[in-house]
Structure formats: structure tokens, C-alpha cells
Structure 1
Amino acid sequence: MSRISRLAAVPVAALLSLGLASCASDEPAGETEAASNTWEPVTVEHAFGTTTIETEPERVATVAWANHEVPLALGVVPVGMAASTFGDDDANGVHPWAEEALADLDAETPVLFDETDGIDFEAVADSQPDVILAAYSGLTQEDYDTLSEIAPVVAYPEAPWSTPWREMIEVNAAGLGMAEEGDELVADLEQQIADVVAEYPQIEGATGMFLTHVDPSDLSQVSFYSANDTRVQFFEDLGMEIPASIEEASADTDSYSVTISAEQADMFDDVDVIVTYGGEELRDALESDPLLSQIPAVENGAIVDLPGDQPLGTAANPTPLAISWVLDDYAGLIADAVDKGE
């Protein structure tokens, strides 16, 4: 059975009008006019069960990383969304691609939820949403239950922080009653990716590993994103392959990350490129470590250091608006790393 059951569809033109109406200067952010009387309930299946949106949502709130990018990409301005901290170059809580989308929609910045210590349920409730989008998130059952007391919640389909970008768009768009527009957005992004990847043929077939939360002063353990994680899955969008070692290490877990002893580093002899955060200090530590330096990507210097304090630092985690913004730079960095390994 499909995770998303559309009981009825609103005409596309009407829905586009609905989304754009939310940006009008005389409407509060996220509020929309009823574009038609043809709305019928939309049911979305997810990890916590099913959610049915009985009435056409006029006020849309989003929680967790990047869910706000789906409504923004579809012309709907949320009444509230999670503040962005990682990769936010001007510390205003909004990534540049979201700023551009808001500007294009002639809209003010929505209320920003501070999620430093978890979801701010009070702030979400104060935004008075009709629906809460969280298709890419780490919601617990308790989080979901609490949010559901505020408004219908569109949660992740299977596991925390493991919703691929296509499904993130599909599920959140369904919650807006804009499934067709979501499909069009996915197709457009797929074409953009294909066009950019064609410029870097050396990427095709290279294997990639994403190191994360690595302490340069203590390399006794190696942490990396698993094959369940969207960053690793994005390698495949770029024409790369997930190494068999990463697939094997991910086989018995639903988690988005895995930690192993550095003594097992020889298992990564099939890794051509490493992507990570950490900069020169981490690179130097990897290259000087007697175990980790034997990984082909480390030995060849085929390492992509993403800056965590800049928008490019989010490049590895594909999201609806960020993909277009960082794609060419990210692919170029990976291509340079592949070249070093040849």
C-alpha cells in the first residue's frame, strides 16, 4: 500500500493560487485563501501510524531540519519553522536559499522555532498551525503525540533522520494537498542533478564515505553516516556508489550513523573518497594515524572538507532548496577528490 493516500485532488491551478496567496502582503505568513470547495481529506501514512488532514490547511508550521523548504518551494510561506543553525553564515536562523525563496515570494521571515534543546512546543502552538510538517525529522513518539495535540502532524515514513529528499518532498507536499506539484519539483531537481553530474564524468562509479563527529585528538573510534542516511544516499544521485563496507556496516541498524573501532579500519579499503567536517586539523590527524591512513581515500588525499560554518557545509545533506544552491560546488569538490585518487 502506498504511504500516501489521496482521497481527492484539488485542481493544480487552484493549488498554485492557494500557495501564492500565502505570500500576499495583506495576509499573515502561511495563511491561504480557500482556492476551491473541492478539498477532501488527505491521509498520510508514517512511522507513527496515519494522519488525516480533514480540512484545507491555511496555516502551515514545520519543525526539524529543512521541512520548511518544501512549502517554500511550492509557494507556501509557513507561519513558523525551525531556525537553521548549522551552516548559517549570517546567524539569522535562515539559510540563504530560504532567504531567496522568501524574497521571491515577497514574504517576511516566519516565526523561527529555537530547537537547540528540542522542539519548542509552546512556540509551535502559538503559531496556530493547521498542519505540522516533519517528514524529515527525529521525532519521538512523545514528540509526535505532543505535536498532534496542536495540529495534524506529517511525520517521517520509516526511521528518524532517514527520509530521502524525494520522499521528504512527496510526504510534505501530500500534507499540503499538493502532491502533483511535489512530483513536479522532484522531477525538476532530478534534471538539475543530471545536468550538473554530466559535467563531472569522473565521479561516476567512485565510492564515497561520510565521516562524522570525529575527534582529531582521539581516533580510536571511527564514526560515519550509514547507508540509511540521506547524505550517503545523495552520493548515488551524483553517480557514485556506496561502498560495500558501508553497506555491510549498516545492515543491522536503522540508525543514520555507525561507530566502530579504528582497529577495523582495514574494512574501508573500498573507499575512494571521504567527505567530512573538520578541516585541516582532521585531515592531518587522519593522514598521520597508522590505521586510518591506510584507507585509500586518506592515503590519496581524496578528502572533501566541508565548512560547518558556511552554507556549503550543508551541501552533503540534500534538501529541496539547497540542492540547486550548492550542487555545482559540491560536485566539483568531489570531482577534485576523485582526481587525486587516480
Structure 2
Amino acid sequence: MAASVAGVLGLGLVACGNVQDSSTQTASSASADASAFPVSITHKFGTTKIEKAPQRVVVIGTSSDDLDAALALGVTPVAYFSKDGSASVPPWLQGKIDPAKTQIIDAASGVNAEQVGALTPDLILATADYGLEQEYENLAKIAPTIGYATEWGAQTWQEHVDVVAQALGKTGEAAAVKASAQAAIDQVKAQHPAAAGKTFTASVGNTAGKMFTLASEKDFAVQLLQSTGLKLSPAVADASKNESGSPTGTLTPEQYDKLAADLVIVAFTSPDLQQAFERNQLVSGIKAGNYLVTDMQTISALRYPTVLDIPWVLEKLKPGFAKLG
């Protein structure tokens, strides 16, 4: 996914804090397979060799893919540098992350290499770090650093689990971890068989006079929703892409009728934008149907599905699925 989409849709992930004394904090990796090391992982910035099971893992991300994967695999990172600029632990991590063990640091304006170094990590996971191009060289001097495979936002949630599991010596647990998220998808399909073949649109209003709508089957949110049996509405699939070439189409008020579908998911960054959208005459018919207004945190989690946020986001969308019959 293009970087501009992150800015447009807002990631809404985790909180901020200051680097504390790290002398007593360690990553939980007791069950790592010692025979899995040394291991070499190739990514866009080269090949990184990890000599032994990491004990102090630092995660850097614009989205929480690596953090969620590590936690799901039973490893507690000593810190997470969050680039999304939000200020609270996301609901899907409630009870799964302990701020006393994992420092959550606001890195919206960039990662401070000195802060990272002060944590004395022996592994840095940054496969979901937009901006890693500018940071990788300094980070790699601190500890083995794993970047994204080809470009930021191009790896599926399953691929994030696989690479994190490889780096942590947890490949034996990866299949079960992925299966837990897949089970949530399968449950939605079983509970809502009428969703099969029904159309959907998913959009965000964060700019006056525009709606940004998912318009490509390459988009991870589209893939997640289609895995439940839904189908992206052809009307938005043909929507013109924005200037960045991202899979998010830009619709102007005279095009809002294109958002009509069996399930219409929308989120807004302000009540004023929602009211302006809903006053549009082309929207009146949409509102009368299966019209689900959700929050930015939900739409952001949908855009960047992770092994831990998938069950949560599908639960949030259940009212829309229920209306499909």
C-alpha cells in the first residue's frame, strides 16, 4: 500500500511514552527453537543474519504488523516505536500487551536511533516501517534489523507472521498463529452465509468534498472482506485512482452514488464531514440501505489487517454482516 494511503486513512494503532531504564526488560523467547539459529533473512535492504534467539526485541512500525505477530508468537518486545501518531493501546491488544514490559514510544516524527540504542536490542523488527529507507543504515549498526521484503505495505498479514516467526525462531508456531486469525474469518462466513457474493464498498471521509474509497482487489482490506464471501462493488473498482497511484479511489460529491452496495462501510475524521456527506442527495438511498458508519480506528485496522486485529475488526463489522440476511 502506498505511503499516502497511510496518511489519508490514519493508522490509529498504539500509544506513546518515553524510553525508560531498560536494564531489567527482556523479550520472552524461552521457547524459541535454538536449532533455528543462526538464520539469515533477505529483505529490500540486504540480508540480515541473526546469530541466536533474540532476547531484547524492538519493533518499529507505521502499522502494528510486527508487534502483533511477535505477541501472537509469545514474544514480548521491550519496545514498540509507533509511527502512527496515536496515543493509546489499540483495543485488539488490550490484555495482550503490558506497558510495564513493552514501552510504547511515539515515533510519528521519526525514529531516534539513540533511543533505540539505549534499549540495547539484539533484534529490530521493522517490516512495517514506512520511512525505513532513511533509518535502516543507523538501525543496522545497533542490532540486526529486518526490513520489508520489497516495498513498504506489500506484505500480507500471513507473510508478516512468517518472517517474524523466522526471526524469532518460532516457525513451528507460525501455522497455529495464522490459523487463529483464519478461524475468525471462517466463523464470519459460517455465521453469515448470505454475505457470499454480496457487494461492498469501504470509504473514508477526511477531506471536504471528497471520499476516499477502496478501489483495488490488491488492497489488503478488500482481500480481507472478500475472504468472508463479500465482493468489491464493480462501481468503485473502476473508480479513478488518486495521484499517488494507490489502490484508493477518490470520489467527488457528484460520484457518491458509486458507493451504493449491499454493504456500505464508511468512516469520517469529523462529525462535520459525516454530516456534509449525508446531506448529499445521492447518499439518501445509500443511507436507507445497509449503511454502517464505523470509526477511524476500525477502518484503519481493516486497511492494515494483522494476525491480532482481524478478529476484532470483524467483530466491529458484524452489524453490517447481520443485515445481509
Shorter-chain TM-score tier: 0.7 to 0.9
2:35 alignment partner in structure 1: 38
| Superposition deviation, residue 277 in structure 1 | 1.7
Are residues 1:69 and 2:60 paired? no
| Equivalent pair of 1:208/1:243 in contact (CA under 8 Å) | yes
SS in 2 for 1:209: strand
- 1:40 alignment partner AA: F
Match of 1:222 among 184, 188, 211: 211
**CA pair 280-142 structure 1, distance change in 2 beyond 3 A:** closer
Distance 1:315 1:196 in 2: 17
Higher relative contact order (CA 8 A, sep 6+): 2
Distance 2:146 2:215 in 1: 24
SS in 2 for 1:134: strand
Provide, for residues 294-319 of structure 1, a one-character-per-residue CA deviation record: whole Å limited to 9, x for no partner: 8x7x36443322223xx656552422
1:321 alignment partner in structure 2: 308
| Equivalent pair of 1:31/1:79 in contact (CA under 8 Å) | no
Distance 1:186 1:131 in 2: 22
| Superposition deviation, residue 36 in structure 1 | 6.6
**CA pair 289-244 structure 1, distance change in 2 beyond 3 A:** same
CA RMSD across the alignment: 3.5
SS in 1 for 2:264: strand
Q: Is 245-254 or 228-237 further displaced after alignment? A: 245-254
Provide, for residues 175-198 of structure 1, a one-character-per-residue CA deviation record: whole Å limited to 9, x for no partner: 212123112211222123202331
Provide, for residues 108-129 of structure 1, a one-character-per-residue CA deviation record: whole Å limited to 9, x for no partner: 3312121221334332222221
2:228 alignment partner in structure 1: 238
Where does structure 2 lack aligned partners over 5 or more consecutive residues? 1-22
Query: Counterparts in 2 of 1:102-251, with a 5 A limit?
Result: 102=97, 108-215=100-207, 218-219=208-209, 221-227=210-216, 228-249=218-239
Provide, for residues 76-128 of structure 1, a one-character-per-residue CA deviation record: whole Å limited to 9, x for no partner: 11011135977x7xx5x32343231246xxx8331212122133433222222
Identity level (%): 24
Are residues 1:303 and 2:297 paired? no
Where does structure 1 lack aligned partners over 5 or more consecutive residues? 1-25
Distance 1:60 1:71 in 2: 9
Provide, for residues 50-92 of structure 1, a one-character-per-residue CA deviation record: whole Å limited to 9, x for no partner: 3332332221111112121111111111011135977x7xx5x
**CA pair 284-264 structure 1, distance change in 2 beyond 3 A:** closer
2:279 alignment partner in structure 1: 288
- 1:68 alignment partner AA: L
- 1:70 alignment partner AA: A
| Equivalent pair of 1:45/1:157 in contact (CA under 8 Å) | yes
SS in 2 for 1:108: coil
TM-score, scaled relative to structure 2: 0.76
Distance 1:68 1:45 in 2: 20
| Equivalent pair of 1:277/1:306 in contact (CA under 8 Å) | yes
